[in-house]
Structure 1
Amino acid sequence: MTDSLTDRDYRDTLFLPATEFPMRGGLPKREPDWIKRWDELKLYEKLRADAKARGAKPWILHDGPPYANGHIHLGTAMNKIVKDIIVRSHQMTGLDASYLPGWDCHGLPIEWKVEEEFRSKGKTKDDVAPGDFRAACRAYAGKWVDVQKAEFRNLGIEGEWDNPYLTMKFESEASIVGEFLRMAMGGTLVRGAKPIMWSPVERTALAEAEVEYHDRKVPVIWVKFPWAGTHLGDGATFPDWVAEAKGASVVIWTTTPWTIPANQAVSYNREISYSIYEVEAVMSEEELGFAPYAKVGERLIIADKLAQSVMDGAKVSKFRPVIAVDPEGLVSLRHPLAQVSAFFDKPIPMLAGDHVTDDAGTGFVHTAPAHGEDDFNVWIASGRKASDIRDIVNPDGAYQHPELPAALQGLDIIRTSGKKRGEQGKANPEVIKLLAESGNLLARGMTTIRDAHSWRSKAPVIRRATPQWFISMDKPGPNGKTLRENALKAIEDTEFFPAVGRNRLQAMVEGRPDWLISRQRNWGVPITIFVNKDGQPHTATLAAEQAEQLNEAIKAAIAQGGVEAWFDTPAEDFLSPLGLDVGDWDKVTDVLDVWFDSGTTHAFALRERGIIDPETGQADLYMEGSDQHRGWFQSSLLESCATRGIAPYKQVLTHGFIVDAEGKKMSKSIGNTIEPQEIQKQYGIEILRIWTASGDYTEDLRISDEIIKGSVETYRKLRNTVRYLLGALDGWSEAEALPRDEMPSLERWVLHRLAELDGQIRAAYNVYDFKRVMALLINFCGVDLSAVYFDIRKDSLYCDPRFDTQSAWDKDTAVFGNRRRAARTVMAAVLERLLTWLAPVMPFTMEEAFLESHLKDRAESVHLLQFAETPEGWKDDVLAARWAKIFTVRRVVTGALEVERREKRIGASLEAAPKVHIADQALIDAFKGESAADIFITSGAELIHTSNGNGGGFTLDDTDGVVVYPEKADGIKCRRSWKYFDPSTADPAFPDITPRDALTVKAWDKVHG
């Protein structure tokens, strides 16, 4: 102690915050260490054991499997982060929330990459033995599973990484086969040859979920189909138009010239009016630069509404209507290439169809039932057979038929290899040339259409009728209902986030065709059926007992040897033990749609592992991107409804996609991509997690350097709040805790806010609304704590005497009540809740803070805690209403003092002693029992009830009746707390500090000597 009290340095007597928790997180360097710690701790296993010990109710988020073919990107990172936040938050609400990651290991995404690897070595897929090719695919998928597993783990994702589910594990492949056979035994498996989307590049059928739509330029042609001269009439009575129709042609319009050689009909609509039109004049070659194909005098049959647009396209400058025509009476036409080859010299029937419109084109539709869904349907509806459909296009997308003219043989529709892969092949130009030479090309041009492209190769797809396997949507199943009916009922019973997801999935299921499940590929789970000579599967033709015996033998073989067992095992090994003649059966070698694989994951990833709700047989949640309404959500729904009659999930949550700051889709070609590894290296994954949680991820999320910097600032503020609490709680123990009823009302208000937040945050986490969680906590930390509570209580924390069970401090300083003790009690409650509420979003930082806190003895990790329960009595709406009034006044005072500081009339708020004129007595009454000066952080304050001020005071436009006069404080400045006080009230032994500070210093001196 110094000789001169007036010269004493009081800094040692202040209780300033002290913590080892650094101001900077150093996330890029430290995050890997936390992951290593969790692995060494076996945190995931401890989470499961803890939940079991608590008797917690299981809660299951089923992980949709990403493809094992390449590094993760920002979209997949966001997906996994959202899932991790969901699982962690549900675990901390007291549930047993497990997380089993998985991978989709079959199908085109992987097979296509392996093909590229072989092509780089100068080999095509056909040059490689099927078994070797499948082995390469399995190795490729295994490599990327390991790579992605490490990348996902680096995101802080906690889960069963040592035993994930893989669709290519033998037991998984056997389970997929079992699900397929179970579905087939239900009678919904059918075989058909209707047009499906076919990728010539990948040489396989594609489902809707495997295509995307892009604009592309294509040729458009108007083609004449000459009337054959046959018509409806009994020989005595002829329609009026017959005499005028001699030499006339029906005109069609198409953007797929290559389908003309496959034409087998022309369709019309009975509701459309048609007429014969005669060309009277055409534009000159001098005007156009080329000679038009239309000829003066020729007669064309067109829909009346479209006559002008057709003539404009044909460069006809003058034409006249001749007579109305009933197209049904035309009966048949001649193929426009009939003169080229006898292959085309067959009658072309006229078919009525509702799909024909007069919105565009000619009012007639060229009909090639092998290459169009509407074409196929109208062909079958007319009573014709699928077996009569001409198949002239091979799996490579090229013409191949023994009767085709030599000029067309082998011509490709699109290029399937080389630098121009996906561009127009030779078929279109040659067909147009032949049409022109035959005299039946009326006009040609170019247009832009939006057409289907393969999701993988990015090349256009064609429609092609080939024998395929389907799951019928409308054939009654074992329960008497169709798959469509079962699926629509399951959708009604499912909860969707956002709710619009129900409408989207429902519309897709209502209108979808049968599920095309066969693919002509190598790397996939085989369609494990034998078909008899009539093409019927063994599941439909054998007796049920015998069929099941065969099914079990197939599943056992695949469980032992994987999918290779189906391809490598001779058919007789399966059939002979059952007394079946191998000569009567053919083994199917197609593979299943990869969406069927992922649609069955609930069976082997959940059911067979016992992680499923035993009451409903469902997972609690499926969560993926909104594109999965046509993908995984739908395939899982259909498979589960077909085999079990229910959806595999109770809830479906969808997220949007990531776009740049301008809302543009991210693309490497335009250079606006941001990789998760870049963010981790520069800022840390915690920043990416905050960005994910702070936006509305159910919509498209924008990202840019500036947006990420905003997340960095959010992190800084939250970290500083936690750091302040850790420092303020230095030396805290439960012995210091003060009961709520003994606390000042400000502390009780904070407890009320915690009670409010507890309900709000639990509710937001429960509906996956992380944006609300973050908004609530950012506002609480920035406003309620930093700007209000910490600001007001800083003086008490630093300057009031501290609680010490080993000293006489409490007794000697009882005059101050329990402000500091109450504040630290409340701060301990705040810290516990902030650490757990933020842990799902910020697992690294909250773990670091937890291990620096008084809570570290409760568990080995913050993630082993649950959200703290709110004690009864904390919520106090009456008290909150009173403090709302106080804060109304405080806001005006704070605004007035800010002006004073800006104008340099005061340096700090403690230099002021404002007079506050208040019109509403209720606002003044709210301060009863409180120190207005402490609340305002001034050295004095006077509240005056008056209807208005004396003029010139400070006011806020949105707060009537409060006028502040920020006068300067009288007295001297306390050398310990910096408050201004009346020196006449000072303790003679400590004349330079306030009486409160003097008592605190005396108590401090008793302990420290």
Structure 2
Amino acid sequence: MCADTPEYKATLNLPKTDFPMRAGLPKREPEWLSRWENLGVYDRQRASAEGREPFILHDGPPYANGHLHIGHALNKILKDFIVRSQQMTGRDARYVPGWDCHGLPIEWKIEEQYRAKGLDKDQVPVNDFRQECRNFAAGWVDIQREEFKRLGVTGKWDDPYLTMDFHSERVIAEEFMKFLMNGTLYQGSKPVMWSPIEKTALAEAEVEYHDKESFTIWVKFRVADPADADLAGAYVVIWTTTAWTIPSNKAVVYGKDFAYGLYEVTGTPDESWANVGDRYILADKLAGDVMSRARLEDGMYTRVRDVTVDELAGLSLTHPLAGAEGSDGEWDDLRDFRAADFVTEDEGTGFVHCAPSHGMEEFELYRDAGMLEQVITYNVMEDGSFRADLPFFGGKMILKPNGKEGDANKAVIDKLVEVGGLLARGKIKHSYPHSWRSKAPVIYRNTPQWFAAIDRVVDDGLDTYGKTIRERALTSIDELVTFTPQTGRNRLYSMIESRPDWVLSRQRAWGVPLSCFVKKDRLPTDPDFLLRDAAVNARITEAFEAEGADAWYKDGAKARFLGDAYDPEDYVQVFDILDVWFDSGSTHAFVLRDRADGSPDGIADLYLEGTDQHRGWFHSSMLQACGTKGRAPYRGVLTHGFTLDAKGIKMSKSLGNTIVPEEVVKQYGADILRLWVAQTDYTADQRIGPEILKGVADSYRRLRNTMRFMLGSLNDFSETDRVAPAEMPELERWVLHRLAELDGIVRDGYAAYDFQGVFQQLFNFATVELSAFYFDIRKDALYCDGDTARRRAARSVLDILFHRLTTWLAPILVFTMEEVWLERFPGEDSSVHLVDFPETPAEWLDEGLAAKWASIRQMRRAVTAALEIQRRDKVIGASLEAAPVVHVSDADVLGALRSVDFEDICITSDIVLTGDPSPNEAFRLPDVPGVGVLFEKAEGQKCQRCWKILPDVGQHPHPGVCHRCDEALG
């Protein structure tokens, strides 16, 4: 509404604010970041929160080797929501960001630089190489720190934790030594996932699965000297997708509950490797498929008879390469043949070839049988090549240095064809493990590694939650940890319940070494194989604190650390480095325990990462802490999903569907990205794209408009204008009731990390209940009233709304709410992030009043819907031209409407309320029973100041105005 004449327009109390409708966030947000830094907001929060109950969200360290992607942004923004909301609800919410700095990805980058220059990493002094890795990581820490800060993420950015800091390296080594001293560390040899390209073992969390095309072969193992003549010369057929493992075959296994038969070839096409008279033992369920792979059609073979499991148990097999010319007896020993639980009838032949050096199930089978010495081979070297002296295949590569298919598989297949050992071959596309760093396929390879035994009794006296690492972890999950969402509990529990021992060692250079010594000429099973000496450990950790882990590689390090008590010639210094997951798993010790701003009990209130971290950081932190603290290092675990494009497709540079945080910030501002996070269900995978971001920006504009209206209407508001709630009209007290309800919803929502729920409630309240209802009604009083009690009450409510909405939304829209706050409260020391959520009086809750106004709002809907038809039909231009007659059948509802200024509620110039029956022509809303609306035009003249049409306009000293406006003009 607006006055018709300039002199009257000047008398209106129109909103006054410099708060712009166009946010200009990309340009203005850096100014607020600079202001917060100069103001020292984070440190001021710590000072003001002294004595409060701490809340510690421990930061899972991102890897320092590249620009941020949208998943990083989601993760850090979620963390920021939590830290800020916990601070503003009365906790001392500390947040120390950190980085994972060691490990293969960085080492690989430096090696790539070396290769480009024609340099050999192994020819460079190891500490020079490590320094280059350190410098590389430090550079990316600085870059990522600024990118995270640009997202509005608060924290101790001037003093983060780095796993490569000297103190961190000292503590990581100390934590490792606890495993050394408590009896859980051992050296073993078993198949581990191995990257031939990177020449190191990999953890499960370092592996991702991609489709790969592999050779697939059906291989014949001849039955050796059977008791039954029917089986003389028969073959057991196996199927494998890893032809390169055939030279390492030591056994074949079968299913003890399967039905097997003896099949004889009676005819063959020219292109088949089968011969008439050949006999094959196959699982009946799979025999037809095997024969078709051998290009044998129905009628070309016949089933001779059953072969019982008891018969199988009495057989031995010969390797297909046994006796081959030039084999030097490599494969002449008979192959073991026994039942195994892991054989299936889903595909293959019903038999599985076993190379226990390259398969965990086979390894465990023969370990449990006490036969490892007979079946373990060392045919595959660290680069994925066959040992040089292996007949036929020496030097052949499973993979080329670029990660592509090598010549080993073809060489094995060709040799099998040559000796008549192949029945069929083909190719298959299947999901296969790849290194997530080099993107090259990995293999299982038996190699000596260092392990933490998770089922061995831990000799440390910390057995409250169990005696072994696994027991402690599973008990912690059940008794100590709260999961958000709850499904995370089941995933982590099942992974830890079934996992093998933890492979701690990596054959690389950039990391914290396994700071231990082994005695020469001792077996790993000997009690004195590992040197366990507290004094030696103390010398190592003291050196690491002063010089970093580089001290391990300096000349004379062995003698220095062993001291006078031991002869260096008697011991071997271990140079493997620790799995980087051990580094990050140990962060609780050097961040939560050791820092002054850490946790009082060394335990975090929350770990927050993506769903992949159930096998990553959540997992390794649990194992590490259970081995050194006896329990989980966290009380809560929150898991978020992955970010996908707008169509739900995984983002990929090759597909061109990536959304980069930096680009979103440049176009829209960080608050829009933060608002996108708040509007998504982070527990599932989230979608983001240009159209989605446009929708988020539209929501932001609507919310910004609400805040702008409040700012304008609160111009020059002071304490002398304040009205006590008890003296307010019902409409204002209804708003206070809603605020009291929202206060509980907001606090509970933030406590439950339900940011989507919090924002939806606040957004709907601001745009529907305030902008489209309360503000719409009260604009007339705010603009046109003089110094009335009604206007003072409305402005008092706006002030209360302002303090709550700005603080409630501050954890989400950090920049915008700061802008809103400073518009009212400028000053060098002013910041919305230095205040808490206001306390809301419980007496504001008034359920009876709320019920009454719910009914009034329903009646209003019926009236506004009736007027909208008149506006659509151009009978009226605005609702103030109307004075409808409202028929209400319910006497209580009618009384409620008569107790308020219902014409103001409906924004009409007049309204007639009646309990008379509604005439047939009355307008009705189907979902608002008991009310009918008859349209009538308002009688009188239009007030030139407030635009209401009233009979008394023109009858007052000020011409052309109504009584209310005449009084306001004085």
Q: Residue type of the partner of 2:305?
A: I
Native 8 Å contact 1:606 1:612 kept in 2: yes
Native 8 Å contact 1:215 1:451 kept in 2: yes
In structure 1, the residue matched to 2:35 is 37
Name the CA distance, whole Å, in 1 between partners of 2:861 and 2:286. 71
- Call closer, same or farther: CA 1:819–1:539 in 2, change over 3 Å: farther
SS at match of 2:186: strand
Name the CA distance, whole Å, in 2 between partners of 1:946 and 1:590. 92
- Call closer, same or farther: CA 1:694–1:937 in 2, change over 3 Å: same
- Call closer, same or farther: CA 1:538–1:525 in 2, change over 3 Å: farther
Name the CA distance, whole Å, in 2 between partners of 1:466 and 1:867. 58
In structure 1, the residue matched to 2:427 is 446
Give the Å deviation of 1:801: 1.0
Name the CA distance, whole Å, in 1 between partners of 2:596 and 2:521. 41
- Which consecutive unaligned segments of at least 5 residues does structure 1 have? 232-237, 286-290, 803-815, 1003-1009
In structure 2, the residue matched to 1:312 is 292
User: Which of 449, 452, 466 is the aligned partner of 2:447?
Assistant: 466
User: Which of 262, 277, 289 is the aligned partner of 1:297?
Assistant: 277
User: Which of 316, 324, 349 is the aligned partner of 1:362?
Assistant: 349
Name the CA distance, whole Å, in 2 between partners of 1:303 and 1:537. 42
Name the CA distance, whole Å, in 2 between partners of 1:872 and 1:332. 83
SS at match of 1:266: strand
In structure 2, the residue matched to 1:140 is 136
Give the Å deviation of 1:570: 2.6
State the Cα deviation string for residues 64-95 of structure 1 (Å, max 9, x = none).
00000011111101111111111111111111
In structure 2, the residue matched to 1:519 is 506
Give the 5 Å matches for 1:902-941. Answer: 902-941=872-911
Name the CA distance, whole Å, in 2 between partners of 1:441 and 1:244. 22
Name the CA distance, whole Å, in 2 between partners of 1:149 and 1:977. 55
Give the Å deviation of 1:374: 1.3
State the Cα deviation string for residues 518-570 of structure 1 (Å, max 9, x = none).
100111110111011355689963999x7111111111111121121112243
Give the 5 Å matches for 1:635-654. Answer: 635-654=620-639
Native 8 Å contact 1:797 1:823 kept in 2: yes
> 1:61 and 2:61 equivalent?
no
- Call closer, same or farther: CA 1:576–1:95 in 2, change over 3 Å: closer
Give the 5 Å matches for 1:98-117. Answer: 98-117=94-113
State the Cα deviation string for residues 152-181 of structure 1 (Å, max 9, x = none).
111111111111000001110001001111
User: Which of 542, 551, 554 is the aligned partner of 2:540?
Assistant: 554
In structure 2, the residue matched to 1:989 is 957
Give the Å deviation of 1:322: 2.1
CA RMSD in angstroms, aligned pairs only: 1.9
Native 8 Å contact 2:522 2:528 kept in 1: no
Name the CA distance, whole Å, in 1 between partners of 2:526 and 2:510. 24
Name the CA distance, whole Å, in 1 between partners of 2:4 and 2:97. 68
Native 8 Å contact 1:67 1:103 kept in 2: yes
Native 8 Å contact 2:604 2:635 kept in 1: yes
Name the CA distance, whole Å, in 1 between partners of 2:809 and 2:121. 51
SS at match of 2:869: helix
Name the CA distance, whole Å, in 2 between partners of 1:739 and 1:876. 16
Q: Residue type of the partner of 2:513?
A: P
In structure 2, the residue matched to 1:968 is 937
Name the CA distance, whole Å, in 2 between partners of 1:560 and 1:455. 34
Native 8 Å contact 2:195 2:435 kept in 1: yes
Give the Å deviation of 1:826: 0.4
Native 8 Å contact 1:571 1:587 kept in 2: no
Native 8 Å contact 1:269 1:356 kept in 2: yes
Q: Residue type of the partner of 1:585?
A: Y
State the Cα deviation string for residues 438-494 of structure 1 (Å, max 9, x = none).
011111111122111111111110000001111112111133611111000111121
Name the CA distance, whole Å, in 2 between partners of 1:355 and 1:529. 37
State the Cα deviation string for residues 798-836 of structure 1 (Å, max 9, x = none).
11112xxxxxxxxxxxxx5x1000000000000011110
Name the CA distance, whole Å, in 2 between partners of 1:329 and 1:572. 53
> 1:841 and 2:812 equivalent?
yes
Q: Residue type of the partner of 1:996?
A: R
> 1:692 and 2:673 equivalent?
no
In structure 2, the residue matched to 1:587 is 573
Native 8 Å contact 2:582 2:624 kept in 1: yes
Q: Residue type of the partner of 1:456?
A: R
In structure 2, the residue matched to 1:596 is 582
In structure 2, the residue matched to 1:46 is 44
Native 8 Å contact 1:314 1:442 kept in 2: yes
- Call closer, same or farther: CA 1:934–1:80 in 2, change over 3 Å: same
Native 8 Å contact 1:75 1:658 kept in 2: yes
> 1:21 and 2:19 equivalent?
yes
Q: Which moved more, 1:271-280 or 1:73-82?
A: 271-280
In structure 2, the residue matched to 1:235 is none
> 1:175 and 2:184 equivalent?
no
Give the Å deviation of 1:991: 4.2
SS at match of 1:456: coil
State the Cα deviation string for residues 689-713 of structure 1 (Å, max 9, x = none).
1111111112111111111011111
> 1:945 and 2:923 equivalent?
no
User: Which of 660, 671, 681 is the aligned partner of 2:645?
Assistant: 660
Give the 5 Å matches for 1:221-620. Answer: 221-229=217-225, 231=226, 238=227, 242-282=228-268, 284-285=269-270, 291-317=271-297, 318-325=300-307, 326-340=310-324, 341=327, 342-386=329-373, 389-402=376-389, 404-405=390-391, 407-416=392-401, 421-478=402-459, 479=463, 481-492=467-478, 493-533=480-520, 541=528, 547-574=533-560, 576-614=562-600, 616-620=601-605
Name the CA distance, whole Å, in 2 between partners of 1:945 and 1:593. 80
Name the CA distance, whole Å, in 2 between partners of 1:89 and 1:927. 40
Give the 5 Å matches for 1:182-197. Answer: 182-197=178-193
Q: Which moved more, 1:111-120 or 1:617-626?
A: 111-120
Name the CA distance, whole Å, in 1 between partners of 2:349 and 2:6. 102
Native 8 Å contact 1:530 1:537 kept in 2: no
Name the CA distance, whole Å, in 1 between partners of 2:311 and 2:423. 20
> 1:897 and 2:875 equivalent?
no
Aligned positions, number:
955
SS at match of 1:964: strand
User: Which of 978, 986, 994 is the aligned partner of 2:947?
Assistant: 978
Native 8 Å contact 2:263 2:304 kept in 1: yes
* TM-score (normalizing by structure 1): 0.92
Q: Which moved more, 1:858-867 or 1:20-29?
A: 858-867
Name the CA distance, whole Å, in 2 between partners of 1:26 and 1:584. 70
Give the Å deviation of 1:411: 0.4
Give the Å deviation of 1:928: 3.7
- Call closer, same or farther: CA 1:386–1:164 in 2, change over 3 Å: farther
In structure 1, the residue matched to 2:608 is 623
Name the CA distance, whole Å, in 2 between partners of 1:94 and 1:575. 49
Name the CA distance, whole Å, in 1 between partners of 2:809 and 2:639. 22
- Call closer, same or farther: CA 1:969–1:556 in 2, change over 3 Å: same
- Call closer, same or farther: CA 1:606–1:539 in 2, change over 3 Å: farther
- Call closer, same or farther: CA 1:297–1:784 in 2, change over 3 Å: same
SS at match of 1:505: helix
SS at match of 1:300: strand
State the Cα deviation string for residues 646-673 of structure 1 (Å, max 9, x = none).
1111110011111111100111101111
- Call closer, same or farther: CA 1:8–1:676 in 2, change over 3 Å: closer
* TM-score (normalizing by structure 2): 0.96
Q: Which moved more, 1:379-388 or 1:722-731?
A: 379-388
Q: Residue type of the partner of 2:932?
A: V
Native 8 Å contact 2:518 2:530 kept in 1: no
Native 8 Å contact 2:363 2:372 kept in 1: no
State the Cα deviation string for residues 766-817 of structure 1 (Å, max 9, x = none).
1111111110111011111111110111111011112xxxxxxxxxxxxx5x
In structure 2, the residue matched to 1:234 is none
In structure 2, the residue matched to 1:812 is none
